[in-house]
Amino acid sequence: MKLLSKIDLGSLTLQNRMAMAPMTRCRADVNGIVGDLTVLYYEQRASAGLLITEAINISDQALGSPFTPGLFNQDQVEAWKKVTAAVHQKGGAIYAQLWHTGRVGHSVDKKGVLPVAPSAIAITGQQHFTSQGPKDYETPRALTTEEVKQIVQDYRQAAINAMAAGFDGVELHGAFGYLPNQFLVESANQRTDEYGGSIENRSRFVLEVMQAISEAAGPGKVGIKLSPSIPYNSIIDSNPTDLYTYLITELNKLPLSYIQLMNAMFPTDNLPQYPRDVIGTFGKLSQHLVMANGGYNRETGEAELEKGIAGMISYGALFLANPDLPKRFELNAELNTPDRATMYFGGEKGYTDYPALS
């Protein structure tokens, strides 16, 4: 199977072409510090070719959901050192996914402070899950130009912290409607400064962040996750094909290790401008290794690799429920079923208690 063959990623040689996709698990403490359960969680899944962590807040401002981890102070760095050491001891490789949620948050979990965004435009038609239950989204505060530039530096520092914590690299969460994604699209970005208006200007924030974290982490140690055809979190653009064609072409100029592309996971019948074949449309533009994400199983993942555009496949819920997923794929063994009720909050149940093959 191609899925189980080795592949080079930057200076790493990965044991297979299966990545564990980043998944929000909300098991950190109120200070964003991960504990022993998180160490065990990643250690259990170290047979993945590459582990990509749950999204990690780059600053106090970046937080959107309660009990999500951080990477912006020394206590958080020290806690992540235990995770990376455990994964490396098992022969695995692990990247930290860097996160700023932007407007995808609520003041009840941000010490009463409003979320920030490119423009003061609220998410509509959805609610945010907070520590006090589901709540309508608030209208965020628009960032000043100077604040935008400071957030670029926050990403740089988070990448420095990640490398100090022993991570093999970092990934920018540029997908699913979080802050970088908000800058990219017209529905969330109506700025009139250098970060708004044209496709070039709306792409500027993402490209500046990628330049900064590439310098901080080093060549071949940075990836990015993008979701060109996902309208979730009120992310709508009139011409996503031109937008992402420009962005990926510019990303080709940076010394990245991969681009992770999410498939279209939501109905887009009323958005005919959104390409359905994300890998075929955008993956072929990348000069970096393409990682395909979203809804794959053993057979469809192998078939995607056989097409020759993607070099790796990332699995979310399947890795969550099957810590030994590569071995199960090798043996074509039965898979555990993910428990959706325990995905986002709780303790060891639905986190570290999924059985491996005996």
User: Does residue 158 form part of some domain?
Assistant: yes
Q: Once rounded to an integer, what is the mean pLDDT over residues 28-42?
A: 96
What's the pLDDT score for residue 237? 97
User: Does residue 337 form part of some domain?
Assistant: no
What's the pLDDT score for residue 346? 86
Which CATH number is 281's domain given?
3.20.20.70
Task: Give the sign of the dihedral formed by CA 188, CA 192, CA 197, CA 199.
Answer: negative
User: Does residue 336 form part of some domain?
Assistant: no
- Catalytic residue status for 41: no
2-27 per-position pLDDT tens digit: 999 999 999 999 999 999 999 999 99
User: Does residue 333 form part of some domain?
Assistant: no
User: Does residue 219 form part of some domain?
Assistant: yes
Catalytic option among 155, 178, 258, 315: 178
Spatial distance between the Cα atoms of 219 and 217, rounded to a whole number of angstroms: 7
Kindly indicate the confidence band of residue 138, based on its pLDDT and cuts at 50, 70 and 90.
very high
User: Does residue 220 form part of some domain?
Assistant: yes
Is there a contact between 291 and 256 (Cβ–Cβ < 8 Å)? no
pLDDT above 90 (res 268): no
What's the pLDDT score for residue 267? 81
Q: Once rounded to an integer, what is the mean pLDDT over residues 305-315?
A: 98
Q: Once rounded to an integer, what is the mean pLDDT over residues 318-333?
A: 98
Q: Once rounded to an integer, what is the mean pLDDT over residues 243-257?
A: 98
346-357 per-position pLDDT tens digit: 889 999 999 999
If you ran DSSP here, which 8-state letter would residue 114 be given? P
Q: Is 166 exposed, middle or buried (0-12, 13-18, 19+ CB in 10 A)?
A: middle
Q: Once rounded to an integer, what is the mean pLDDT over residues 94-105?
A: 98
Tell me the Cα Rg of the chain.
19
Is there a contact between 222 and 213 (Cβ–Cβ < 8 Å)? yes
Kindly indicate the confidence band of residue 80, based on its pLDDT and cuts at 50, 70 and 90.
very high
User: Does residue 8 form part of some domain?
Assistant: yes
pLDDT above 90 (res 343): no
Q: How many CB atoms lie within 10 A of CB 290?
A: 21
What's the pLDDT score for residue 178? 98
* Total structural domains within the chain: 1
| Length of the chain in terms of residues written | 358
Domain limits at 102?
2-316
181-236 per-position pLDDT tens digit: 999 999 999 999 999 999 999 999 999 999 999 999 999 999 999 999 999 999 99
146-182 per-position pLDDT tens digit: 999 999 999 999 999 999 999 999 999 999 999 999 9
- Mean pLDDT in the chain? 96
**358 contacts: CB under 8 Å, gap ≥ 6:** none
Q: Once rounded to an integer, what is the mean pLDDT over residues 50-67?
A: 96
pTM value surpassing 0.75:
yes
What's the pLDDT score for residue 269? 85
User: Does residue 275 form part of some domain?
Assistant: yes
Is there a contact between 65 and 24 (Cβ–Cβ < 8 Å)? yes
Cα 91–Cα 96–Cα 102 angle in degrees, nearest 5: 165
What's the pLDDT score for residue 111? 92
- Give the whole-number percent of the chain exceeding pLDDT 90: 95
Q: Once rounded to an integer, what is the mean pLDDT over residues 294-310?
A: 98
Kindly indicate the confidence band of residue 112, based on its pLDDT and cuts at 50, 70 and 90.
very high
